[in-house]
C-alpha cells in the first residue's frame, strides 16, 4: 500500500489515518501490510505510470520495479508469506489508486488483486485507457471505489470507462470486479478508511 504516512498513525498522516492496523486486528486477519511512504514532493512522480504534459511525473515503473524485484522478495524471505499471485494485492487511493490498477497490468503474475480507490486516472487518462484496451487478458480481482461527491465528475466517468474495458476482457459471470460508488463520499481519508474493511473482505 502506498502513502504509508496515512495508513497507521494520525501523527504521521496529512489529513487523517486509515486505521489499517486496528481494522485488521478487529478481523483477526492473518495478513502482512507493507506500507510504503511516498517521497513528499516526489509522490506524483512515483505514482504516475506516464508523464503528464502539465504536471510531469511518470516514474511508476521504477517504483513498481523496486516493489517487485527488491522489496517483495525480502518480505517473502523474512516472513511466512504466501507469495503467489492469488495472495498478493495492491491497494491505493487517488494517485495510489491509479498505480494499483497499473500494477495489475504491468505485473499480472505478481499482483492478483487490487483495491482501486478514487483513482486519479485523469492524469494519465489516454495512456492508461490505451494500455487497458491493449491488455489481452486480465484475471485479477478488482475492487473499484469512489464517492459521488469527489469534486470532479470525471472520477466516476473514468472509473466507469476503465471498468467497462476490464469487463470486455473476461466474462462478467466470473464476478472478479466490484464497483462501489459511495453516496456523499468525498476524495479523502474518511472515504477510504470507512471503505477499507469491506474492500479487504471482498478481495480476500
Q: What is the 3-state secondary structure (H, E, C) of 146-167?
A: EECCCCCCHHHHHHHHHHHHHH
Are 117 and 150 in contact by the 8 Å Cβ rule? The answer is: no
Domain holding 23, by residue range, is 4-203
CATH number at residue 107: 3.40.50.1820
Cα 165 from Cα 86, distance rounded (Å): 22
Hey, what's the cell of 8?
497507521
pLDDT for residue 132: 98
Beta-carbon contacts of 9 under 8 Å, excluding residues fewer than 6 positions away, are 17
pLDDT for residue 14: 79
In this prediction, the residues of the chain whose per-residue pLDDT falls under 50 are none
The total number of structural domains that make up the chain: 1
pLDDT for residue 53: 96
Amino acid at each position: 500500500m502506498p502513502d504509508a504516512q496515512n495508513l497507521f498513525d494520525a501523527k504521521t498522516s496529512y489529513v487523517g489515518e486509515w486505521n489499517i492496523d486496528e481494522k485488521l486486528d478487529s478481523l483477526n486477519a492473518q495478513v502482512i501490510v507493507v506500507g510504503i511512504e511516498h517521497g513528499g514532493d516526489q509522490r506524483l512522480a512515483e505514482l504516475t505510470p506516464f508523464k503528464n504534459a502539465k504536471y510531469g511525473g511518470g516514474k511508476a515503473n521504477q517504483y513498481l520495479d523496486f516493489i517487485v524485484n527488491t522489496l517483495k522478495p525480502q518480505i517473502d524471505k523474512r516472513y511466512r508469506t504466501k507469495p503467489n499471485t492469488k495472495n498478493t494485492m495492491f491497494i491505493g487511493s487517488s494517485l495510489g489508486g491509479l498505480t494499483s490498477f497499473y500494477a495489475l497490468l504491468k505485473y499480472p503474475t505478481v499482483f492478483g488483486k487490487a483495491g482501486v480507490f478514487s483513482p486519479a486516472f485523469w492524469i494519465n487518462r489516454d495512456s492508461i485507457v490505451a494500455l487497458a484496451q491493449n491488455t489481452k487478458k486480465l484475471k485479477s480481482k478488482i475492487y473499484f471505489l469512489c464517492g459521488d461527491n469527489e469534486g470532479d465528475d470525471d472520477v466516476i466517468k473514468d472509473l466507469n470507462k476503465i471498468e467497462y474495458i476490464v469487463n470486455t476482457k473476461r466474462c462478467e459471470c466470473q464476478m472478479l470486479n466490484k464497483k462501489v460508488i459511495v453516496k456523499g463520499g468525498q476524495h479523502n481519508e474518511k472515504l477510504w478508511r470507512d471503505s477499507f474493511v469491506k474492500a479487504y473482505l471482498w478481495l480476500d
